Chains A and B, each alone.
Chain A
Amino acid sequence: MAKVTFNSDLCKGCGLCVDACPKKLIVLSKDKLNAKGHSPAEITDQEKCIACAFCATMCPDCVITVEK
């Protein structure tokens, strides 16, 4: 059971986590904007997350916390 949390206010919507996820579970939100006006990254299917932390490794803004 893995859990990935996004501190959405810090997200700049760069999409590097989207590219990094081997399971293609991350998308940039289509309907949300954060306080800075970016479309924040979010996980589509928490269940399928393997806690590899690739997303967090590539995130330049320390947005992502990964737990297992």
Chain B
Amino acid sequence: MAIVFQKPKALTDAPLHYCPGCTHGIIHRLVAEAIDELGIEGKTVGVAPVGCAVMAYDYFACDMVEAAHGRAPAVATGLKRALPENIVFTYQGDGDLASIGMAETVHAATRGENITIIFVNNAIYGMTGGQMAPTSLPGQVTQTSPYGRDTATAGFPIRVSEMLATLDGPQYIERVAVNNVKNVNKAKKAIKKAFQNQVEGKGFSLIEVVSSCPTNWGMTPSKALQWVEEKMIPYYPLGVYKDRSAEKEGK
């Protein structure tokens, strides 16, 4: 019998601490699958964020660095400049990347740092118990927007992929989702390409993964993925926002 599906080698055996049905686990696996398929585990250094994925350093089998909140792109810049032959990626949530770390994100992108960023957007701060995130939807109820996100006082959600795509620096920006099998497969392709780009020295790649947070959204895992489909994806449309190699080919 041939194996159709098993845990990738680039994940350690440590059981994930994430809540039941949290899609961080799927995204971790997709990153690990990309690392396995490209055969780069031995030369990869990952950067974990502050947030739910803070302990990602225990889950990825490659060398790992734990960064301060929002600083992963700066830490990754240091790593990549010191180790240009290695593969460097960050794994960050929406609070980390789009709020406290926005400056580091934008500037790593505009420098075209040859790194890969996996940006998990689930529209809430998970680790601290469900506060409003920069990507929380208008009207979304969170611990710090108990009457729903009021855009008059709390502003509007940030569409990171669209914003970064206006820069000349990035090589590749795509938004994917992990709410069903079809989208997970697309996400896998995008993540692998984001790593492949780095292997080929093409520069900055960021994959925004629209994700769920059943616990802090107060939904079952199944209902949360429906909410991704019905509420998140319409606000955060999936697709390629920038791909310089496609532009070159005149696509």
**In the complex where A57-B181, A62-B25 touch, is A14 in contact with B6 (Cβ < 8 A)?**
no
**Which residues in A have their C-beta under 8 angstroms from that of B4?**
2, 51, 53, 56, 66-68
Interface residues of A in 22-49 (CB under 8 A from B): 38
**Which residues in B have their C-beta under 8 angstroms from that of A16?**
21, 221-222, 225
Bound Cα distance from A2 to B221, whole angstroms:
27
**In the complex where A58-B26, A60-B26 touch, is A68 in contact with B20 (Cβ < 8 A)?**
no
- Tell me whether B15 is interfacial, beta carbon within 8 Å: yes
**In the complex where A54-B181, A67-B1 touch, is A61 in contact with B15 (Cβ < 8 A)?**
yes
- Tell me whether B2 is interfacial, beta carbon within 8 Å: yes
- Tell me whether B16 is interfacial, beta carbon within 8 Å: yes
Which of A19, A20, A61 interacts with B16 by CB under 8 Å? A61
**Which residues in B have their C-beta under 8 angstroms from that of A14?**
20-22, 214, 221
Bound Cα distance from A62 to B136, whole angstroms:
29
- Tell me whether B5 is interfacial, beta carbon within 8 Å: yes
Distance in Å: Cβ of A23 to nearest Cβ of chain B: 13
**Are the C-beta atoms of A67 and B2 separated by less than 8 Å?**
yes
Bound Cα distance from A20 to B179, whole angstroms:
10
Which of A13, A19, A64 interacts with B5 by CB under 8 Å? A64
Interface centre among A2, A16, A54, A56 (most CB of B within 10 A): A16
- 20 further interface pairs, Cβ-Cβ under 8 Å (given A14-B221, A64-B5): A10-B15, A14-B20, A14-B21, A14-B214, A15-B221, A16-B225, A19-B225, A20-B181, A51-B4, A53-B5, A56-B5, A57-B5, A57-B26, A58-B26, A58-B180, A60-B26, A61-B25, A65-B7, A66-B5, A66-B6
